[in-house]
Structure 1
Amino acid sequence: MPGDTSNTREIAIDARKISKIYRGEDEVRALDNVSVRIRRNEFFTLLGPSGCGKTTLLRVIAGFEPPTSGQLWLNGKDISRLPPNKRPVNTVFQNYALFPHMSVANNIKFGLEMLGKPKAEINQTVEEMLTLVQMQAMKARRTSEISGGQQQRVALARALAPKPEVLLLDEPLSALDLKLRKEMQMELKRLQHETGITFIFVTHDQEEALTMSDRIAVMSAGKILQIGSPQEIYQRPAERFVANFIGESNFLDARLSGGSVTLKAGGTFPVENPANVADGDVSVLLRPEHAFLSDAEDALPARVETVVYSGEATSMHTRLEQSGEPVKLRLANAPTGSGMPEEGAQVRIGIQPGALSVLKD
């Protein structure tokens, strides 16, 4: 399977050729022969647009959806037919599903009581969880009386309290404002590191995935297109869909020969070829931050179409003169905030060494 060389003993979740088909007037293949291995003590993210199958895969792992075909293994045991309450897995949902009339402490306590844990153990675990999520001062407050970010922490504490082998997180940050969401990204990563529990996180937000994950699986149309570290997914996407979904992208036409490409816009450059695409006409990826303004004779002539200032950087939309292809640059702003070409100006664009990557369409 793409992007995985794990030893079997290191695997927490082993999904083997999982398919999920919803039959009705129109058959929907939500998961299409998906195989993925997720390691123990890993922060693993399922990333993709709405309808790509990421939440369906999460629900199959949780036991809420039976697969149409395939097998699911957890720490070496086949759990394909186990009901949700028999799986050592917990889920944090988008809406948190807290009891508003209960205190913070009692919300955390509830699941442990349902499991029949001894009272002393329950009380000790609740205190440990309150400390872990930094909610000791709020333990007597009703969850209806605390903020969204605090509710998020309580939901995490409740899910972590039974010490599950795997924690599933279904877009749990989507209801938070931008600043709080960024804070909780760091909080989730800290919790995963401190507990040593395997986290499987579902999101459509590329920044969340890049910020928190040890590895990312990019999904589309019920399939996993690529698995890799954030750096691998961003810097060496194997497919055009992955490159386009993760970050901002420029796509340029070129001719591949060996380890270099000749751009339609002019110039020959060495390239990465992660998908092992055959020589011939290809599309190559150039990230906006890997292009720059240059006075060199071999730089690509272009004309500036729009200039957008965004504080720490300026986005410059240009069009290459030889090929007519659009190229976006993202340039760091100088402390004085000046010195950028204006709209309509003629410029030359340089490309950083190793910045071009061949894509599979």
Structure 2
Amino acid sequence: MKLSLKLSESLLITSRPNIFYFSGIDISGGVFLLITREKKIIFGDARFIKEAARIAKGCEAVAVSKESDAWWRETLQKHRIKTLYFEPHDLTFAKLKRFKLLSRGVVRVMPSKINLRELRSIKRSDELAAIKKAISVTEDIMDETVQQIRAALRGRKHLSERDCALFIRSRALYYGCEELSFDPIIAFGKASGVPHHLPSRARFLKKGDIVLIDMGVKYRGYCADITRTFFTAPPTAQQTEIYNRVLAAQTDAISLIKHGVRASEVYEAAVKKLGSFASHFTHGLGHGVGLEIHEHPNLKLKSPDILQSGQVITVEPGLYFSWGGVRIEDMVLVVKNSFSLVTRFTNPLLF
């Protein structure tokens, strides 16, 4: 993605996702990216620059140290930079202070007005391909996890929430994913009523439990995020009503998704369908997904965001009670006049 910079302007990229987005380099700390109208310069700790130079897409790579302060000033002067923009939501005060000190008398240092998170929310074709692959692997692992749970129920074997979480992590590595999008949420029984429950070694699966699985893998830097709720015995009338209400809320919300629609309008459609149960819906309806698991836009009541073609978002209504809860989450691609459901995993009630 090309930025609209004047010849005398530059942008200092410091956040890991944005460095990856503009250069293809995914290194944890130690490097920065300077973007001018004419070129990109990746610079930083010599320990990381050699690897960065190998994988950088169209970037000059420079190893610098604290003793290389003159290089920074020379670079700004060489490229006739008069204004240096920085990421206001990422750069620490200490680093900002240092860059200002190094740049004194050479350039103005100002917070960037470019919303990089919004810019990144519109996915290129290669990004969509990576997201779809991440979803495909996630769905395969979800299916394998379901088979593990079924086997445990049939064989009456001890299976803890933590066991399932570790199984998911091991399968992600098996499929060649660099990591999970987030720590998986595995909730048995009453724990399914806690939206972000932490898997426990002490909570074991029992016949009749609700099972909530929220998981996703990262593939080539891009995330997936899927949630399914299952029953290990025929659900009660109350459980069936709650499940159907959540599913209907998701269906109504997704049906509104298209370019130009307010994110808050999609949220309101889900809440309306939840009806008298809406007070048990305690979180936002969804979020953008990409290099980070939570990206622009946000689907919540007071969101100012407008959906745009090319965004990939989650839609995840849920209802939570003392006896347990239900959440269903799918990923959706926003297109001009409609939507495209990117996830394909079915919604079976029973294991």
TM range (shorter): under 0.3
- Tell me which protein shows more strand as a share of its residues: 1
| TM-score (norm. length: structure 1) | 0.23
- Tell me which protein shows more helix as a share of its residues: 2
Relative contact order, higher structure (CA 8 A, sep 6+): 1
| TM-score (norm. length: structure 2) | 0.23
